[in-house]
């Protein structure tokens, strides 16, 4: 078995991973990007609305205002030093993307346009119509092609982090096309693998969003954090969960209940449709429970009305919304309101890192959605995540590259041996043992249903306990999984089994802190603990893996300028 060697390895080829790769290449180190898909398939591609940055200070915006909005949006558990770093770097990163070719939407004078977004007190979201993530990803991926120092391993699946002598020394991965396992050695490794929205049945997330990087870190002993906070986006298409961007409301769309009322006046009167996602999603569920939703084949929904915006504005600012609504629910938003309901969209939680993207395991870093750097707290504001990928992708890439430069080459034979072991163990488990009876597709479907039933917009202690038990049973069932596919070439069933194993691990890491956090804050709404409790929970959950399941500790949020206050809009 030969070993692939790089100074720095990056797992994941979305916006955060490629931004990190470019920053590292500019530091002069050799970079390997390992991704289970071609980079342009990464889930960044599905982001629609935009990226927040103070690029129009001339319109009255300021970095302090962006920071405060973010802290308030987080329900006061964002780490404020991290927030301040983000808001200061964001304008540079967004303009850097412009220089690299991103087709931002523009004003007549050629400057970059900004639009309104939920929880942001002024227009500060830079956008490329309503395909912002798509354009950013293709722009940065294509830009990365000019760097000879960046080598890609497309369609490779990482099975394990290599830990030797207390530090991360690379990864084990197999090439999907050949099935060959291989050790990848590096002096620093960055996880940029995105979130795990596929834990739920009804999600905006792509099939690939199974949280692989989180599970890799968790197993290797680096704690994950704030997993009890999955974000529900208010406007997904019923059935498929396809995202209808918040920009639809940013551009002036209304949310109406069955009676045609803009019901948000009862919940977020000062912000209405531009309230934060957690509060709007809760308001919608409350309306459903009180009988004011529109009944449909996939449960109740609300109406997203864009008709008053007019065809011209819809075509210029929201063309993808129109395309998606027409294709997937047969509705032309120029003429009819779009049916929408809250849908799992984003993980505030991730691998716990410091402001440099460093995890507790030396040599291991994380950025983007797979990291919990402290930016988003209990509720992320829309359009902060693309910015997070850029700002912390760049910083983490640079800092990891510096570590790589300062670290001497290590011996390879121990890594080789670990990779060979992992190869053998994986094949033994999934190919040789033929006694199982469970199908991965069915176990996965049941897991998604458990999460849907018990870990929704509102939770109870009782429901979460039931969820934990059922997840444990599913983990048991997984041990009896049998694969139909025992071949080596492009074995997506084997990859699916390893992804499901990751998902089953992470599901428990969501439920346990949700159970222990006996309060309601941001996206965690406990019916049995309806109030926020700053005495006990003004901070992050820190989740470690033990043989008995997740162990949770609490870590105080960093407060620099803004003391917690009642969160009202």
Catalytic residues: 233, 249
Say which DSSP state 89 is in. H
**514 Cβ contact partners less than 8 Å away, ≥ 6 residues apart:** 227, 228, 455, 459, 464, 524
The nearest distance, CB 561 to another protein, in angstroms, is 21
By the rule CB under 8 A, 40 interacts with another protein:
yes
State the Cα–Cα distance between residues 285 and 264, nearest whole angstrom: 12
- For residue 431, give the nearest of 505, 503, 497, 476 by alpha carbon: 497
Question: Measured from the CB atom, is 243 or 255 closer to another protein?
Answer: 243
What is the 3-state secondary structure of 317-329? Answer: HCHHHHHHHHHHH
Out of 1, 111, 476, 551, the residue judged to bind another protein by CB under 8 A = 111
State the Cα–Cα distance between residues 381 and 279, nearest whole angstrom: 11
State the Cα–Cα distance between residues 297 and 171, nearest whole angstrom: 45
State the Cα–Cα distance between residues 169 and 184, nearest whole angstrom: 8
By the rule CB under 8 A, 65 interacts with another protein:
no
By the rule CB under 8 A, 323 interacts with another protein:
yes
By the rule CB under 8 A, 461 interacts with another protein:
no
Q: Which one of the spans 75-83, 316-324, 341-349, 362-370 is the region binding another protein (CB under 8 A)?
A: 316-324
- Cα 15 vs. chain centroid, distance in angstroms? 11
State the Cα–Cα distance between residues 415 and 411, nearest whole angstrom: 8
Kindly state the number of chain residues that form the binding site for another protein, as judged by CB under 8 A: 69
Token digits of residue 296? 């449909």
Q: Which one of the spans 182-190, 200-208, 405-413, 512-520 is the region binding another protein (CB under 8 A)?
A: 200-208
By the rule CB under 8 A, 131 interacts with another protein:
yes
Q: Site map for another protein, 242-271, x if CB under 8 A?
A: xx----------------------------
Token digits of residue 385? 């995540």
By the rule CB under 8 A, 332 interacts with another protein:
no
The nearest distance, CB 450 to another protein, in angstroms, is 17
Q: Which one of the spans 201-209, 251-259, 307-315, 510-518 is the region binding another protein (CB under 8 A)?
A: 201-209
**142 Cβ contact partners less than 8 Å away, ≥ 6 residues apart:** 101
By the rule CB under 8 A, 28 interacts with another protein:
no
Question: Measured from the CB atom, is 125 or 359 closer to another protein?
Answer: 125
Q: Site map for another protein, 206-245, x if CB under 8 A?
A: xxx------------------------------xx-xx--
Question: Measured from the CB atom, is 170 or 368 closer to another protein?
Answer: 368
By the rule CB under 8 A, 390 interacts with another protein:
no
Q: Which residues pair with 8 in a beta bridge?
A: 31, 188
524-537 burial, b if ≥16 CB within 10 A, otherwise e? bbbeebeebebeeb
Out of 485, 544, 555, 564, the residue judged to bind another protein by CB under 8 A = 485
The nearest distance, CB 141 to another protein, in angstroms, is 9
The nearest distance, CB 91 to another protein, in angstroms, is 5
8 to 27, contacts with another protein by CB under 8 A? none
Question: Measured from the CB atom, is 404 or 440 closer to another protein?
Answer: 440
Residue 255, Ramachandran bin (φ over 0: left; ψ between -120 and 50: alpha; else beta): beta
Out of 5, 92, 151, 412, the residue judged to bind another protein by CB under 8 A = 92
The nearest distance, CB 10 to another protein, in angstroms, is 18
Place of tokens 């529900």: 232
Place of tokens 């991290």: 82
Which contacts (CB < 8 Å, 24+ apart) does range 284-292 have?
Answer: 284/234, 284/255, 284/341, 284/342, 285/342, 285/456, 285/457, 285/458, 287/257, 287/263, 291/258, 292/257, 292/258, 292/259, 292/261, 292/263
Q: Which one of the spans 92-100, 212-220, 472-480, 505-513 is the region binding another protein (CB under 8 A)?
A: 92-100
Q: Which one of the spans 137-145, 183-191, 215-223, 428-436 is the region binding another protein (CB under 8 A)?
A: 137-145
153 to 172, contacts with another protein by CB under 8 A? 154
Question: Measured from the CB atom, is 36 or 187 closer to another protein?
Answer: 36
State whether residue 160 is helix, strand or coil. Answer: strand
The nearest distance, CB 383 to another protein, in angstroms, is 17
Question: Measured from the CB atom, is 134 or 254 closer to another protein?
Answer: 134
The nearest distance, CB 407 to another protein, in angstroms, is 27
Phi, psi angle pair for 276, to nearest 5°: -70, 160
State the Cα–Cα distance between residues 126 and 112, nearest whole angstrom: 7
Q: Which one of the spans 163-171, 183-191, 346-354, 482-490 is the region binding another protein (CB under 8 A)?
A: 482-490
Out of 230, 350, 397, 496, the residue judged to bind another protein by CB under 8 A = 496
Task: Give the full edge-to-edge strand order of the sheet including 371-372.
Answer: 371-372, 350-352, 224-225, 539-546, 549-556
By the rule CB under 8 A, 430 interacts with another protein:
no
Question: Measured from the CB atom, is 74 or 448 closer to another protein?
Answer: 448
Out of 60, 108, 408, 547, the residue judged to bind another protein by CB under 8 A = 108
The nearest distance, CB 101 to another protein, in angstroms, is 4
CB 417 within 8 A of CB 23: no
- For residue 568, give the nearest of 273, 268, 249 by alpha carbon: 268
By the rule CB under 8 A, 134 interacts with another protein:
yes
State the Cα–Cα distance between residues 21 and 90, nearest whole angstrom: 18
Question: Measured from the CB atom, is 1 or 57 closer to another protein?
Answer: 57
Phi, psi angle pair for 174, to nearest 5°: -115, 145
State the Cα–Cα distance between residues 246 and 224, nearest whole angstrom: 28
The nearest distance, CB 202 to another protein, in angstroms, is 12
First to last CA, the chain: 59
Query: What residue ranges bind another protein (CB under 8 A)?
Result: 37-38, 40-43, 45-46, 54-57, 91-93, 95-96, 98-101, 103-112, 131, 134-135, 138, 142-143, 145-146, 154, 177, 206-208, 239-240, 242-243, 320, 323-324, 327-328, 439-442, 444-445, 483-485, 487, 489-493, 496
């Amino acid at each position: 078995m030969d070993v692939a060697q790089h100074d720095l390895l990056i797992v994941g080829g979305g916006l955060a991973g490629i931004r990190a790769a470019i920053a590292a290449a500019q530091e002069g180190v050799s970079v390997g990007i390992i991704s289970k898909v071609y980079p342009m398939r990464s889930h960044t591609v599905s982001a629609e609305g935009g990226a927040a940055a103070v690029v129009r200070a001339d319109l009255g915006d300021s970095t302090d205002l962006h920071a405060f909005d973010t802290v308030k949006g987080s329900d006061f558990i964002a780490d404020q030093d991290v927030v301040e770093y983000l808001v200061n770097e964001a304008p540079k990163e967004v303009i850097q993307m412009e220089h690299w070719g991103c087709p931002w939407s523009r004003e007549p004078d050629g400057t970059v346009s900004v639009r309104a977004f939920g929880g942001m007190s002024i227009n500060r979201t830079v956008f490329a119509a309503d395909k912002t993530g798509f354009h950013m990803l293709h722009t940065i991926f294509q830009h990365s092609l000019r760097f000879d120092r960046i080598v890609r391993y497309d369609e490779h699946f990482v099975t394990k982090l290599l830990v030797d002598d207390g530090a991360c020394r690379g990864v084990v991965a197999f090439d999907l096309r050949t099935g060959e396992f291989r050790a990848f050695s590096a002096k620093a490794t960055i996880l940029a693998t995105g979130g795990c929205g596929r834990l739920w049945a009804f999600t905006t997330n792509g099939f690939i969003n199974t949280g692989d990087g989180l599970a890799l870190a968790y197993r290797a002993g680096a704690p994950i954090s704030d997993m009890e906070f999955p974000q529900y986006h208010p406007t997904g298409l019923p059935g498929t969960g396809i995202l209808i961007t918040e920009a639809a409301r940013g551009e002036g769309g209304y949310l109406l209940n069955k009676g045609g009322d803009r019901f948000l006046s009862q919940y977020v009167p000062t912000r209405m449709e531009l309230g934060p996602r957690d509060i709007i999603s809760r308001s919608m569920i409350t309306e459903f429970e009180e009988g004011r939703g529109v009944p449909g084949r996939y449960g109740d929904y609300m109406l997203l009305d864009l008709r008053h915006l007019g065809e011209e504005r819809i075509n210029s600012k929201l063309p993808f919304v129109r395309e998606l609504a027409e294709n997937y629910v047969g509705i032309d938003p120029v003429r009819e309101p779009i049916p929408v309901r809250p849908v799992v969209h984003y993980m505030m939680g991730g691998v716990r890192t410091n402001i440099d993207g460093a995890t507790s395991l030396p040599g291991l870093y994380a950025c983007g959605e797979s990291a919990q750097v402290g930016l988003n707290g209990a509720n992320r504001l829309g359009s902060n995540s693309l910015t997070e990928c850029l700002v912390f992708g760049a910083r983490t890439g640079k800092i990891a590259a510096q570590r790589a430069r300062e670290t001497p080459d290590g011996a390879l034979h121990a890594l080789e041996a670990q990779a060979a072991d992992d190869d053998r163990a994986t094949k033994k488990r999934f190919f040789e043992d033929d006694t199982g009876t469970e199908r991965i597709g069915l176990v996965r479907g049941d897991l998604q249903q458990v999460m849907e039933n018990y870990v929704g917009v509102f939770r109870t202690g009782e429901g979460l306990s039931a969820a934990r038990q059922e997840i444990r049973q599913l983990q048991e069932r997984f041990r009896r999984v049998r694969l139909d596919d025992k071949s080596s070439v492009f074995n997506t069933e084997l990859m699916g089994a390893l992804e499901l194993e990751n998902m089953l691990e992470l599901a428990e890491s969501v439920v346990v802190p949700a159970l222990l956090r006996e309060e309601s804050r941001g996206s965690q709404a406990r019916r049995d603990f309806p109030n926020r409790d700053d005495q006990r929970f003004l901070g992050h959950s820190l989740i470690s893996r033990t043989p008995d399941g997740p162990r949770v500790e609490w870590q105080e949020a960093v407060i620099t300028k803004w003391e917690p206050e009642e969160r009202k809009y």
